[in-house]
């Protein structure tokens, strides 16, 4: 087959290397798939001075492997190749990452096929022979939107930075209300109640209250409901004992006394037995008695934060929780919304976790595919932010290359409508030609050790 402009002169090569094509610091990745090696050689010659990373193959079966390995910004795809339907390959590439731009090339142009290619997500549909000028236009078209994406990355990062209050991540209206309440309450509170579903981040809110309170330099001690009065767990500031957790067999009064000047966090108070509720009420009464008649010394200035996933108002009405203790704890209430009620924060949190885990695991993952983001947004997150952190941590460990795809997510998180993205993840999620994902649904795997400061 004759190739147009196959013999490029020095002057044309110099022109091709000018302007934006000389941006070697951030080269585009371009992949071409065509069963004609002469065409691929022409593409390579034209793009050699364009500041791009060019990969090609005459074997369409390698197309998806190349996409996985190089995360291309542009795929030039022949429509008709032996044993392969180019349109089906287009659908597979777009299902992996809808951001990938694909140009279909054909020697037999028809309006019907062109319309179908555009409907399937191709950015253009060209008829052979493709000239050097047309290739230069394609690179310009692809590079311009990418530069725009890069210009928006800095404001996005700045927005993420201002959406972090003492380790709590969020910018949805519901979370901004929580931020405002924490900042207003922290300097003055003596008791507070943090309410929210498991995994929503009640402990992180308690930590934020402590860190913004006058007792920020003192101990933050935690009672677990299942061991209250038996094995309390306390956590001292890093300057004293690092970030380790220690256990001691002491009574409530001893722990309260050891935390004077700081904060005691009572986790899941709704699970306390009646006898423990009474002991706790008496301790709170003893502390509050010091407020009458004289100002508190720094050593006596104790803050108490309780948390629960239960409806304590209903619990008091049913008699399962002491009404007097409920009134004592509920002087200030901070309600944490479930993650499904703050959908605006899902991708912000996911990207935050992704950045954390890529650094922790030494991975090169830079972003999530559009399909993966869509799957995260569509999922209901019954385990809230804790589940999201576990899912991203697991996916980051499995991800190959610099993009996290749907196939890296647990099957139980990906809805059937995203099955193609799972299907074509190289080496995982294999299925029949029908395009249905046959991996058995499984619960999100809980990964130990993702940062507590990120669990909100």
207 pLDDT band (50/70/90 cuts)?
A: very high
The reported pLDDT for the residue numbered 338 is 97
H or E segment at 185? helix 173-185
Taking phi over 0 as left and psi of -120 to 50 as alpha, with beta for the rest, 52 belongs to beta
Reading across the β-sheet that carries 28-33, which strands appear in turn? 52-57, 28-33, 74-78, 101-106, 124-127
Backbone angles phi, psi at 74, to 5 degrees: -145, 135
Q: For every residue of 80-117, which 3-state class applies, written as one string?
A: EECCEEHHHHHHHHHHHCCCCEEEEEECCCCHHHHHHH
The reported pLDDT for the residue numbered 79 is 87
The reported pLDDT for the residue numbered 6 is 44
What is the model's pTM?
0.60
346 pLDDT band (50/70/90 cuts)?
A: very high
Q: If you search the block for the tokens 């795929």, which residue do you land on?
A: 75
Residue bearing the bigger pLDDT, 295 or 196: 196
234-244 burial, b if ≥16 CB within 10 A, otherwise e? bbbeeeeeeee
What is the rounded radius of gyration, in angstroms, for the C-alpha atoms of the chain?
29
* Least confident stretch, 65-79, 171-185, 244-258: 244-258
| 3-state secondary structure (DSSP) of residue 264 | strand
Signed CA dihedral, 237, 241, 247, 253: sign only: negative
Q: What is the DSSP letter of 344?
A: G
Residue 293, pLDDT above cutoff 60: no
Q: What is d(CA 233, CA 224) in angstroms, rounded to the nearest whole number?
A: 7
Q: What is d(CA 400, CA 344) in angstroms, rounded to the nearest whole number?
A: 27
**Averaged over 306-321, what is the pLDDT?**
94
Mean pLDDT is highest, among 37-41, 398-402, 445-449, for 37-41
> For the chain, what percent of residues have pLDDT higher than 90?
30
Q: What is the pLDDT of residues 389-423, one digit of tens each?
A: 999 999 999 998 888 988 899 988 986 655 434 33
H or E segment at 438? none
Q: What are the start and end residues of each CATH 3.40.50.2300 domain in the chain?
A: 10-153
CATH of domain 341-454: 1.10.8.60
Q: What are the start and end residues of each CATH 1.10.8.60 domain in the chain?
A: 341-454
Q: What is d(CA 214, CA 234) in angstroms, rounded to the nearest whole number?
A: 19
163 pLDDT band (50/70/90 cuts)?
A: confident
How many angstroms separate the first and last alpha carbons of the chain? 61
Q: What is the pLDDT of residues 112-150, one digit of tens each?
A: 777 788 778 888 888 888 888 888 888 888 877 554 444
Residue 207 CA: distances (Å) to CA of 58, 252, 319, 387, 400: 58, 20, 30, 20, 35
Taking phi over 0 as left and psi of -120 to 50 as alpha, with beta for the rest, 203 belongs to alpha
Q: What is d(CA 389, CA 158) in angstroms, rounded to the nearest whole number?
A: 21
* Least confident stretch, 52-56, 225-229, 410-414: 225-229
The residues near 289 (Cβ < 8 Å, ≥ 6 apart) are none
| 3-state secondary structure (DSSP) of residue 381 | coil
Residue 280 CA: distances (Å) to CA of 186, 202, 220: 22, 20, 18
Residue bearing the bigger pLDDT, 398 or 245: 398
Residue bearing the bigger pLDDT, 24 or 247: 24
The reported pLDDT for the residue numbered 381 is 96
**Which of 305, 225, 232, 228 is closest to 270 using CA atoms?**
225
H or E segment at 54? strand 52-57
Cross-strand bridge partners of residue 224:
267
| 3-state secondary structure (DSSP) of residue 307 | strand
252 pLDDT band (50/70/90 cuts)?
A: low
Q: What are the start and end residues of each CATH 3.40.50.300 domain in the chain?
A: 166-337
**Averaged over 424-450, what is the pLDDT?**
32
Residue bearing the bigger pLDDT, 400 or 291: 400
Query: Mean pLDDT in the chain?
Result: 75
Q: What is d(CA 258, CA 167) in angstroms, rounded to the nearest whole number?
A: 26
The reported pLDDT for the residue numbered 236 is 42
Q: Which CATH number fits domain 10-153: 3.20.20.140, 3.30.450.80, 3.40.50.2300, 3.10.28.10?
A: 3.40.50.2300
Q: Which two structure tokens, joined as six digits, stand for 161?
A: 């930075």
| 3-state secondary structure (DSSP) of residue 388 | helix
Superfamily of domain 166-337: P-loop containing nucleotide triphosphate hydrolases (3.40.50.300)
| 3-state secondary structure (DSSP) of residue 306 | strand
Residue 174, pLDDT above cutoff 80: yes
């Amino acid at each position: 087959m004759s190739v147009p402009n196959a013999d490029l002169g020095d002057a044309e090569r110099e022109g091709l290397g000018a302007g934006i094509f000389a941006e070697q610091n951030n080269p585009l990745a371009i992949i071409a798939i065509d069963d004609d090696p002469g065409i691929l050689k022409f593409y390579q010659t034209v793009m050699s001075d364009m500041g791009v990373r060019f990969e090609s193959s005459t074997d369409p079966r390698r197309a998806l492997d190349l996409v996985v390995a190089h995360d291309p910004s542009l795929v030039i795809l022949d429509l008709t190749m032996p044993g392969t339907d180019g349109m089906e390959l287009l659908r597979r590439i777009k299902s992996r990452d809808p951001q990938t731009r694909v140009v279909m090339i054909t020697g037999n142009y028809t309006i019907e096929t062109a319309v179908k290619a555009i409907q399937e997500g191709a950015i253009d549909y060209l008829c052979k022979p493709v000239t050097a000028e047309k290739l230069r236009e394609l690179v310009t078209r692809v590079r311009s939107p990418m530069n725009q994406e890069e210009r928006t990355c800095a404001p996005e990062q700045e927005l993420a930075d201002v959406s972090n209050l003492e380790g709590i991540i969020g910018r949805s209206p519901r979370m901004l209300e929580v931020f405002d309440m924490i900042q207003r309450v922290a300097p003055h509170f003596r008791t507070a109640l943090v309410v929210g579903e498991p995994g929503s981040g009640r402990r992180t809110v308690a930590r934020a209250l402590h860190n913004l309170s006058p007792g920020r330099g003192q101990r933050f001690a935690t009672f677990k409901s299942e061991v209250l009065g038996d094995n309390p767990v306390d956590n001292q500031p890093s300057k004293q004992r690092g970030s380790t957790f220690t256990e001691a067999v002491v009574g409530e009064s001893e722990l309260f006394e050891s935390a004077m000047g700081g904060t005691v966090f009572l986790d899941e108070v709704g699970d306390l037995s009646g006898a423990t509720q009474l002991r706790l009420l008496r301790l709170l009464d003893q502390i509050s008695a010091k407020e009458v008649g004289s100002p508190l010394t720094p050593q006596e200035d104790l803050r108490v934060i309780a948390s629960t996933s239960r409806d304590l108002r209903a619990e008091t009405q049913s008699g399962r929780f002491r009404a007097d203790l409920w009134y004592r704890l509920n002087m200030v209430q901070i309600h944490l919304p479930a993650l499904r009620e703050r959908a605006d924060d899902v991708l912000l949190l996911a990207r935050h976790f992704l950045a954390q885990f890529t650094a922790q695991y030494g991975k090169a993952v830079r972003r999530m595919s559009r399909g993966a983001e869509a799957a995260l947004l569509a999922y209901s997150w019954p385990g809230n932010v804790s589940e999201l952190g576990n899912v991203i941590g697991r996916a980051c460990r499995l991800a190959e290359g610099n993009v996290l795809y749907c196939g890296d997510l647990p099957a139980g998180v990906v809805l059937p409508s995203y099955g193609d993205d799972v299907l074509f993840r190289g080496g995982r999620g294999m299925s029949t030609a029908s395009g249905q994902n046959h991996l058995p649904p499984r619960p999100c795997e809980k990964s130990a050790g993702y940062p507590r400061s990120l669990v909100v």
